[in-house]
Amino acid sequence: MPTPTEVKDAWEKAKESIDSGDYEAALVVLRSAWDKHAKEADVHQTWSLVADSEAIKASSSGRSSDYRKSIRHYEKALDKGAGKEVRRRMNRVRTEMDERGIGMGGFRLVDDGAPTIYGIFAIVVVGMLLLVSLRYSDEGLNLSSLWNNDDSDQSNITGSDMAQLTISYVPSGTSTQETVVVMLALNRDAAPLHVDNFVKLAQRGDYDNTPFHRVIDDFMIQGGDFTNGDGTGGHAAEFYGYCDGTETAVECSNPNSYTLPDEADNGLLHQPCTISMAKTSQPNTGGSQFFLIPEDSTPDWLDGQHTVFGQVTSGCSFITSISEVETGGQQGSTPVNAVTLESVVIS
């Protein structure tokens, strides 16, 4: 069915209003087009523009209801066939929600990784279906063969420490746990404090058997919270001159307050197969949490805000696979089956 010219014009006007930050004007013109051509306007272009408008409104108001409305509209756009760029914009809003401590709330089959009563019923049904349709992989796991998987160019990496991450997870569509190895080259020249921090935490064993608590498809996988395991904790390995993001000459009274100074303007970008430091919306608040970017993600809106401090040299396909596992929880990003960082070995 052809899209009416009036609807297309509404899209263009809405885009112009969104670009200028006028979400109200964008919503008005989109509502007008919907009222006159509801059937033809019920497509992903309309839903994504409404979501973009609501996202601007949410950033301005700070209201959780506005954020949630934006996410629901993005999800509707994706259901209608929107592409990865819309998913990336939705992920930006989710990141902002995380930084503000806003959850999705509402009715869900899974809450914080644990099924609700409705979720239990759904699991039983799905389990019965899996018994009928479960397929077994022909490929056995051979850890010794993983070293040659997804080798990346590291010719531009200097001053690097190598880190071997051993991770266990259940790939999407299966019920069998796999153990894989991901290799990183940590760029000490570009981010000396971040690499020093990561190396010391790894050598102390703080990262061993910790969860990847936050996984978002087409975006990233995040872990490293060795204190609480859910993304609410984790601190720097030692005193680096900052306590909870505030620069101070006096060491923090509580080690849980140790944070890192930002090293985000180091020329390293959030490209596929890189590692970056997680933090709050405030500067200099990195601690132990980090995130790995899969092959299909380029979250460039994080450039200059979060510190990239290394490159995946082997096993990036596993990061991509982990980013696609089934998730739930209040934010919709908690793996249903545990994704565990079993160990980090520095060489």
Reported confidence tier of residue 4, pLDDT bands at 50, 70, 90:
confident
Could you check whether 5-100 and 143-346 share the same CATH topology? no
Asked if residue 109 has pLDDT above 70, the reply is: no
User: CA 299 from chain center: how many Å?
Assistant: 9
CA-nearest of 261, 270, 340 to 311 is 270
Q: Note the pLDDT tens digit of each residue in 165-175.
A: 999 999 999 99
CA-nearest of 76, 103, 20 to 332 is 103
For 143-346, the fitting CATH number among 3.20.20.30, 2.30.33.40, 2.40.100.10, 3.30.428.10 is 2.40.100.10
CA-nearest of 103, 24, 15, 18 to 61 is 24
- Computed over every residue of the chain, the mean pLDDT equals 85
> Whole-angstrom distance between the N-terminal and C-terminal Cα of the chain?
60
What pLDDT is recorded for position 288?
A: 98
What pLDDT is recorded for position 91?
A: 87
Distance between CA 91 and CA 71 in Å, rounded?
A: 9
Reported confidence tier of residue 121, pLDDT bands at 50, 70, 90:
low
Please count the other Cβ atoms lying within 10 Å of the Cβ belonging to residue 69. 17
pTM of model > 0.75: no
Please count the other Cβ atoms lying within 10 Å of the Cβ belonging to residue 57. 18
Helix (H/G/I), strand (E/B), else coil: 117:
helix
Q: At what angle do helices 64-79 and 44-61 cross, to 10 degrees?
A: 160
CATH code 3.40.50.720 for 5-100:
no
Residue 45 corresponds to which tokens in the numbers above? 């272009």
Higher pLDDT, 113 or 341: 341
Residues paired with residue 211 on neighbouring β-strands, in sequence order? 340
Query: In the chain, what are the domain boundaries?
Result: 5-100, 107-134, 143-346
